[in-house]
Chains A and B, each alone.
Chain A
Amino acid sequence: MDLRRRLANLDRLSGGTAPPAPVDTEAVRRSLSLETRTTDAGSVWVRRQRLHLPPPRTLPSLQGFFARDPGPAAEPGDLLFLDTETTGLVGGTGTLPFLVGMAWWEDNELVVEQLMLPGPGHESALLAGVAERAAGRPIVATYNGASFDLPLLRTRALLNRRVDPLADHLGWDLVVPARRLWSRRLADCRQQTVELHLGAGQRTSNEVPGAEIPAVWFAYLAGDGHSRLEGVLRHNRRDMAGMARILLEVCRIAGELQDGAATDYTDWRDAWSRGRISEQRGDMTGAAAWLRQAMAVTDEPENPRLVADALRLLKRNGDHGRAREVVEAALGGGLDESWLHREMAILCEHRLGEPETALAHALLAGDDRRVARLRRRVAGTDPQRKEMPCPG
């Protein structure tokens, strides 16, 4: 019996799949209006478009927005946006990027350049194309790229025996500032959710949704048609523009934090987020001010994470009166937890000189040593005790 029949007999998973048909790649390229770019490593398809999306005048310091040091202040021209569309999300060496979108600011416009593989054998050319655009732009901005796109390109470079085109670049992963700014308000921080929040319209039906993208590429390769590839290109271009918009918003907020100007936040959670970022930037006064604002307008004074942040920052700033108000509001809002009573006991004992109140909260906190000490103090039997707040 021939091998093929034995294979079919043994391979119980097979059945019903038609073998792939040959593909006229040149016809596909023309119908998608893609150019061919020849590099030192072969050829790749390319599409370039200019979007009316002007850059920020300058880039403010983005300290405090990223997990890692974003580096010294940069120019808009230093930035390369990058996003890949791949054959899957499973990781490992079997996933390849078949479309790499890149964008940069040039003449007040956002130039989007998309490199697409005519077939998997053209990866080397694609990587050469990325290297070409990455040269001279020291910062690569991605959305979730630190854990996905950048390691992927590193792996692909290795497999194609090329130098990683982004090895020396500073990575700005925009998912980090997005989380820091909006995770308190949004159900999730996926790029599309954030874009919607920032006022972008819904994605349209002529874009292919992310989850369907690998299948579109496989269908093209198998000769089942390429009509949906245009939708993948659109999806990718939209992602590039979306990233630029998110960065613009991050820069706007950073600029205001930098200048200390009042920002037009619309929600107490925005004030809270700005407070946390100010804290990350080392601006403790600003941070405390943001948390005061957040507490002043919040409709969740009992939110434990908010209360903890506000207490920490207000105390650090020496604003013990406000700290007390925060605790009272939280207790009034129903956050009846022992750590909060303990905070109140400490404040009243050491900062506000109210041993009776401190004792009441120490009892509620179940803090026996403090209770004993405060009882002696209230009874006037604590000769050691000085009426001075202790440091720290």
Chain B
Amino acid sequence: MPEYTVALAGNPNTGKTTIFNDLTGASQHTGNWPGKTVERKAGIWKHGEDVFHIVDLPGAYSLSSFSAEEVIARDFIVEAKPDAVIVVVDATNLERNLYLALQILEMTPWVILALNMMDAAQSQRLQIDIETLSQQLGVPVIPMTARAGKGLDRLKEALSDMVVAAQRPAAPKQARHTPPMRYSPPIEAAIERIIKVLRQHQALRDRYPLRWLALKLLQEDETCLAKVKAVADSEKILDVAHREAERLRQLFHEDVDTLIADERYTWIHHLVDQVVQGRRQGPTLSDRVDVVVTHPVAGLLIFLGVMWVIFKLSTDVAAPLVDWIDRFVNGHFAHWVTELLALAHLHDTWVASLIIDGVLAGVGGVLVFVPVLMFLYMGMAIMEDSGYMARAAFVMDRYMRKLGLHGKSFVPLVLGFGCNVPAIYATRTLESRSDRILTGMLVPFMSCGARLPVYVLIATIFFPRYATVAVLAMYLLGVVMALLVGLLLRRTIFKHSEESALLIEVPAYRMPTVRNVWTEMWQRTRSFLEGAATIIMSVSIIIWLFMAIPVEGDGSFAHTPVDDSAFAHLAGAISPVFEPLGFGNWENTSALISGFIAKEVVVSTLAQVYHAPQAASAEVEDVGFFLQAKEALVDLVQAIVDTLKSIPAIIGINLLPSETDSEPPALMTAIRQGFEESSGGYGTLAALAFMVYVLLYSPCVATMAAQRQELGIRWMWLSIAIQLMLGWIAAFLVFQGGKMLFF
């Protein structure tokens, strides 16, 4: 069974992903490139007996060593030597897109040009002479409209023809391959002279296309210089390359990079003039729409409106589904598991407790994020696929620049108000790694939805008249802290990282396709489930273990009141840390420890440790499996209906009856008493300090897991350290400062 490797290359926004999805279907899998935090997508296309491994290279505008993405794409083509490279180009933007294609043609002869977006080219009345284009480039050119599935068959056919042709003994070798374009005589002469010395080295001759390597050495490309240096007695090569580069500089009074780019673009310009008829100079429809969308005032309002909709989708609209998952996992499902355990005579044992309170609670903790994430990713995918993301970055750039970030960073930060987890994953859309890290470090300061119930509970107990103001103040404090930390990091750790100026292509608007949005949404959600599930589950089980171990009293393992558990003792041991902040008793500390896992459980832990009568957890009647399954299903349908009903709420129409859930007054009194005691009579100040601490300390394990996945483990720890410290200092200032000022 013959196997082939095919690389898929192209500029961003050319429909490369669509073609990849079409070729590989459900067989695709994502991971990271070895040693890099750049996403690697690969999949399989089977054609008769032949198996084609399709590797989606990171989208790039060129293949110099400017970014990790470009180096990855380049190394793969040159070193992994794929049997074919499909270069996807946008037919409406040929001049810019052919630059990358030309670079790839200098590396390998086995290229297929997928001329995508022919529908847009037709509606712009562009006529492209495909035959001439193919002749001039010396490779097959396949016109396509990938969004509509057009041209895919011809692409597959060309691919299978190409790998057959490449097998023939007479096929040109990569090392001898001559690309379609010739440079001006002085540059060609320099290339020739470098090739002459390169040819004497077998190791280089076997490994690299020599003409390409010579050109790269002439440009003094850092990674290629390093590759050559690794070869024995390479001094002569480097010497010749340096001399030739110097000679060209003397001759043209210009950098070799600029010279080469200039000659390539000149060549492309002539080619495009020759093959494309009907190019217009005037503004396009996209340009006219952009008059409004990129306007300093209107554009800002539109952006805020879009963010509002996405924010609402991921909170209010997702809420009924989140509740349903919670009810299902902890209600019906827990009940079935309990019955199964009873059948196995494990009822009321520690095994049952571990499975129900440890594992199931963990599963629930992971699954409740799924609807939130799916709605967020859907919003993001639509923004990306439609071309709006680039406009959003453009509009927000002037504001984000003050933070040393560029416009695109604003999107993850705003999403952080909904949930920090997808916000961290959303940093993936930023090109520079230092931007991704800095933004990912600031996201936790955005007060997420799960922190809100804590503020509400504490504020209603201690400042009933100013509850709204207090809650709003928390959100603002988070933003201010993000600003301060951002500036601080920019001036210290990120002082030497390259200046992050905005430089992005703004693609023409396009209607997003259901398929692209769905694939993107599902892949990202799956990636979260795979990455975060382990850490959340492990932490959930560890907490269960601490709660299960009796330290005093006459309880046995897994049958012990909270007060007597190792958990309470652990909290008691940590609580002196919080004494200067006014809330250092074991009860509050327990809530903070479980809040370290997830802010959602702070309120329920408070209720548990302050011994308030708990709201009964979803009672399930004993009516048999099928009735219950039906019930769960009806419940799900209701949740979906509620989700649909809550969509109009985005624009202020509320179809759902308002909830009236008030905490039992007994709990409120108990909490009030607890804070008064722990603070020595300054309960209100301690409560405020508690709110500040909840805002600032690490949001949840899911966020940590996301940070570990996206930024790496070192940055995750640094982020946690900053949050714990900053939270402590801010709460200390609130409590002690308040005491000094007002009492």
Instruction: Please indicate whether A and B come from the same complex rather than being unrelated chains.
Output: no
Q: Which residues of B come within 8 Å of A, CB atoms?
A: none
Residues in chain A within 8 A of chain B (CB atoms): none
